Amino acid sequence: MKISLLVLGHPTSSNCAKTALAFAKSAITQEHTVHRVFFYHDAVHTASNFVVMPQDESNIGANWQQFGQENNIDMVVCIGSALKRGILNHTEAQRYNRSGSNFLDGFELSGLGQLVDAAIQSDRLITFGA
């Protein structure tokens, strides 16, 4: 089955980023296709490369990054939500004259159209709520 994921919750304040990743890994193990993962609302923070976690806790953004690269997953972060929350890639940081960018490689900033496209292309769209 072709599955897409919509992730809404903050990666640190909620556990939905972890649950979504566990689900995605399980889907791949069971030979489904993960078509796209769309990060919206507070989940855009998953793509921040400024996160510093204590040594005994995992960095969920880095874990998603690794999973995405190993399995060639399209990981999209909603640009509207991200800009409002201060998650900027290099292009947007230049465009809005901000002092730096903080976007993890392997994620991509794009619009809600990508989520709609995921809904059109996928058999299942699963929401991991806030």
> Which residues lie near another protein (CB under 8 A)?
6, 8, 40-41, 80-81, 111-113, 115-117, 119-120, 122, 124-125, 127, 129-130
Residue (10 or 48) nearer to another protein, CB: 10
Q: How many CA atoms lie within 13 A of 28 on its CB side?
A: 15
Active-site annotation holds for 16: no
Q: What does the alpha-carbon distance between residue 66 and residue 90 come to, in Å, rounded to a whole number?
A: 21
Catalytic residue among 78, 79, 82, 115: 78
Residue (65 or 117) nearer to another protein, CB: 117
Residues noted as catalytic = 78
